[in-house]
Structure 1
Amino acid sequence: MNTLEQVKALKTRIAASIIGQEEVVDRLLIGLLANGNLLIEGLPGLAKTRAIKALAKNMVSEFSRVQFTPDLLPSDITGSEVFHQTPAGGEFHFDPGPIFANIVLADEINRAPAKVQSALLEAMEERQITVNGKSHAMEPLFMVLATQNPVEQEGTYPLPEAQLDRFLMKVNIDYPSVEDEVKVIELVRGEEQQAQGTKPHSETERTEQEVIFAARREIAAVNVDPAMARYMADLVYATRTPEKYDAELAGWIEIGVSPRASISLDKCARTQAWLNGRADVLPEDVRAIAKDVMRHRLALSYQAQGAGLDADGVIDKIIELVALP
């Protein structure tokens, strides 16, 4: 199989254990192939953690999960210098924390205080952490997948805009359909039967990390026409100067998105095109991922919030107003 076929086989295996969340599986793969970090938001029980575990289980990778709580310390994530007794008298050695893995699940990230979030931020952005003045590099394949619950406010520490901006995409998870809910029941029942030994257990095929690196090299070669690059820049620029497009839109946006949004649009659009077997980026690739890339970077005005608008509705309006190349 070529690289694309191997990645599609990985997608199929992940989707087999995540019923009714095909778009979430797509976004997980795009984040992995685009070498970015994802923020996944949804109500409890909507398979956020399960989806991330399914990704890790179907790859040759080291997986770690950190349950974020208000009393968590930065060293609980990064690791710390620990004194080890030796024949010579003893010395300090660095004991790595759970951040030193290929796929890191930061569960309920908004429950951690600012110091912990900043430690995670360095790992996400710099691909290293610093302890006692010494830097320790992450693995070549490194991805943070953070989850949060949108309705709980008590005992939470909202992520600052600077850290939100470092996430390649923010993925929203919604309830499955009734038909998919039935399949979820049957899937979990089958897993319980396997665990109890009443149903044959199937071995999980795992994708090698080199497949991901090879895919990234191919994605880097995907062509972006200058007109397509201008289209992505126009979408971003419309969030900063909405009055040039529509008076109503101008009243909805408080702060536009940063240049990281342009960079993320380019990365994700090229990945989307590659997954669809194309060597060129089309407008449909940009539009498919525009909400995921921009929804967490866009600050809405009180007027928009009072009207019951969310970021997705505003981005839809921007896509409607910005001319196609």
Structure 2
Amino acid sequence: MTEYSSEKEAVDALSASYNNIRREIGQVIIGQDEVVKSVLISIFSNGHCLLVGVPGLAKTLLVQTVAQVLDMSYNRIQFTPDLMPSDIIGSEILGEDRSFKFIPGPVFSNIILADEINRTPPKTQAALLEAMQEKIVTVGGREHVLPKPFFVLATQNPIEQEGTYPLPEAQLDRFMFNVFLTYPSFAEELQVVKNTTANRNVKLNKILDASQIVYFQQLVRNIPIADNVLEYAVSLVAKTRPNTAAATDDVNKFLNWGAGPRASQYLVLGAKCHAAITGKYSPDIEDVQAVAEPILRHRIVRNYKAEAEGISTEMLIRKLF
């Protein structure tokens, strides 16, 4: 682990590492720049990321590519309707000495790809709740600590598709970012088809290991933030809560409920990380706004009036700026 002489030098190293990772990922993933940025910010902020999009937009490939560039253990869990909680967290078996022995599940890894997380029933989805928040798993009354760092990068098909189960609000709130993937542009799709229909082998370099990621996570938390930026982040979240003093007219009219305190925490952490990767040593209001949409979109719930009038969650968030 490299020692840095000052916090500014460490922030510069974080920014350089981020750009190197982006460059490596760009050899495989064409376009999707904002999506890649959100995934990497969630990793450096010690958060989890939910990627939402129709099949075929390279959600799984993106997570696999990130895992290749980061020198850490990686497991993929394919969520299916018959998946059981023990298939994720592990279970106890009776050994030859007539005592129970814990066999760890695939969740015991640095990076977890929860593929098509909304294709399994809520009982199994809930198995990830404790792991995502507490970074531990409890089996048979005993706690088992997960490795550090620990990320869940989940993919989800749109809930309108057949055979999907909406994620509970409690689980959605565990994800720092809810990122929507859109169709590529014509030029991007042309490049994708060109690369994937020819014999093209890409060798990716390892950029960071587990200890470096943990170091940068601590660095992000230590980045100073001005009081006015902190107050802006908290007030932005407070404005999303209908029938409160801070709520705007649009919020009272179109929302059933707003975001909780975890949104404020993630806005501040996300703003700090966004500032660092762009070469700044302290975040400003623009950094808060840059991460606000994917942090807030899954934490506020529209009412029937908003749906009837075609008012999207993103429109309401932008109005709060």
Residue 274 of structure 2 aligns with which residue?
272
CA shift, 1:208, in A, is 1.8
CA distance in 1, matches of 2:16, 2:41: 15
- Residues 264 and 202 (structure 1), Cα distance of their counterparts in 2 relative to 1, 3 Å cut: closer
Residue 235 of structure 2 aligns with which residue?
234
CA distance in 1, matches of 2:175, 2:159: 20
Residue 13 of structure 2 aligns with which residue?
2
Confirm whether residue 128 of structure 1 aligns to residue 129 of structure 2: no
CA distance in 1, matches of 2:118, 2:203: 36
Residue 140 of structure 1 aligns with which residue?
148
CA distance in 2, matches of 1:180, 1:304: 34
CA distance in 2, matches of 1:154, 1:179: 31
Q: Percent identity?
A: 39
Residue 225 of structure 1 aligns with which residue?
226
SS state at 2:219 partner: helix
| Equivalent in 35, 48, 65 of residue 37 of structure 1 | 48
Residue 80 of structure 2 aligns with which residue?
69
CA distance in 2, matches of 1:309, 1:148: 23
**Paired residue type of 1:17:** V
SS state at 1:239 partner: coil
SS state at 2:240 partner: helix
Residue 286 of structure 1 aligns with which residue?
288
Q: Give the total of aligned pairs.
A: 309
CA shift, 1:281, in A, is 0.8
Residue 210 of structure 1 aligns with which residue?
211
Residue 198 of structure 1 aligns with which residue?
none
CA distance in 1, matches of 2:32, 2:64: 14
CA shift, 1:75, in A, is 0.3
**Paired residue type of 2:255:** I
SS state at 1:271 partner: helix
In 2, are the aligned partners of 1:3 and 1:211 still within 8 Å (CA)?
no
CA shift, 1:267, in A, is 0.6
CA distance in 2, matches of 1:210, 1:188: 34
The normalised TM-score by structure 1 is: 0.90
CA distance in 2, matches of 1:3, 1:245: 37
CA shift, 1:307, in A, is 1.2
- Residues 180 and 308 (structure 1), Cα distance of their counterparts in 2 relative to 1, 3 Å cut: same
Measured against aligned partners, the alpha-carbon deviations of 1:254-311 in whole angstroms (never above 9, x if no partner) come to 1011011100100100000000111111111011110010000001111001112221
SS state at 1:175 partner: coil
Residue 186 of structure 1 aligns with which residue?
194
SS state at 2:178 partner: strand
CA distance in 1, matches of 2:225, 2:54: 37
Residue 304 of structure 1 aligns with which residue?
306
In 2, are the aligned partners of 1:4 and 1:215 still within 8 Å (CA)?
no
Confirm whether residue 169 of structure 1 aligns to residue 177 of structure 2: yes
**Paired residue type of 1:161:** E
CA distance in 2, matches of 1:202, 1:115: 39
Residue 110 of structure 1 aligns with which residue?
118
Tell me which moved more, 24-33 or 306-315.
Answer: 306-315
CA distance in 2, matches of 1:245, 1:130: 40
Residue 93 of structure 2 aligns with which residue?
82
| Equivalent in 56, 60, 67 of residue 71 of structure 2 | 60
Tell me which moved more, 214-223 or 100-109.
Answer: 214-223
In 2, are the aligned partners of 1:298 and 1:311 still within 8 Å (CA)?
yes
CA shift, 1:206, in A, is 4.0
Residue 250 of structure 1 aligns with which residue?
252
Residue 19 of structure 1 aligns with which residue?
30
Measured against aligned partners, the alpha-carbon deviations of 1:206-232 in whole angstroms (never above 9, x if no partner) come to 422222122223212222111111111
The normalised TM-score by structure 2 is: 0.91
CA shift, 1:241, in A, is 4.3
Confirm whether residue 150 of structure 1 aligns to residue 161 of structure 2: no
CA shift, 1:20, in A, is 1.1
In 1, are the aligned partners of 2:148 and 2:214 still within 8 Å (CA)?
no
**Paired residue type of 2:241:** R
CA distance in 2, matches of 1:180, 1:8: 20
In 2, are the aligned partners of 1:242 and 1:253 still within 8 Å (CA)?
no
**Paired residue type of 1:117:** Q
CA distance in 2, matches of 1:99, 1:77: 6
CA distance in 2, matches of 1:76, 1:104: 13
Residue 322 of structure 1 aligns with which residue?
none
